[in-house]
């Protein structure tokens, strides 16, 4: 029996994120079709937001998992 490949559509948006400790993270978040960046905080039930290709302090190109309870604001770069 052959395995079927699951297709997963990605739509990355570039964002800046400010955390409660004053840090700013810039990177990409994947949103579903017809979804807004703000929906990542309200509709997703998990406690973490995944940011890829992230720049934080001297680090670049990292994948970060940011606790949503520690986010002050998110700004899309569109």
CA 76 to each of CA 4, 8, 24: distance values in angstroms, whole numbers, following the listed order: 35, 22, 13
Which two structure tokens, joined as six digits, stand for 10?
A: 């990605």
Domain-wise residue ranges, the chain: 12-76
The pTM for the full model equals 0.81
Q: What is the pLDDT of residues 47-64, one digit of tens each?
A: 999 999 999 988 999 999
pLDDT more than 70, % of the chain: 88
Fold of 12-76: SH3 type barrels. (2.30.30)
Q: Residue 17: which residues within 8 A CB-CB, separation 6 or more? A: 24, 25, 26, 27, 49, 51, 66, 71, 73, 74, 75
Average pLDDT across the chain, whole number = 89
DSSP H or E segment with residue 42: helix 39-42
Where residue 78 falls among pLDDT bands split at 50, 70, 90?
low
């Amino acid at each position: 029996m052959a395995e079927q490949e699951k297709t997963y559509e990605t739509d990355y948006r570039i964002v800046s994120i400010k955390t409660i400790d004053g840090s700013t993270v810039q990177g990409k978040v994947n949103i579903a079709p017809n979804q807004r960046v703000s929906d990542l905080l309200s509709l997703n039930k998990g406690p973490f937001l995944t940011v890829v290709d992230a720049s934080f302090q001297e680090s670049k190109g990292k994948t970060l998992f940011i606790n949503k309870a520690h986010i002050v604001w998110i700004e899309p770069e569109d």
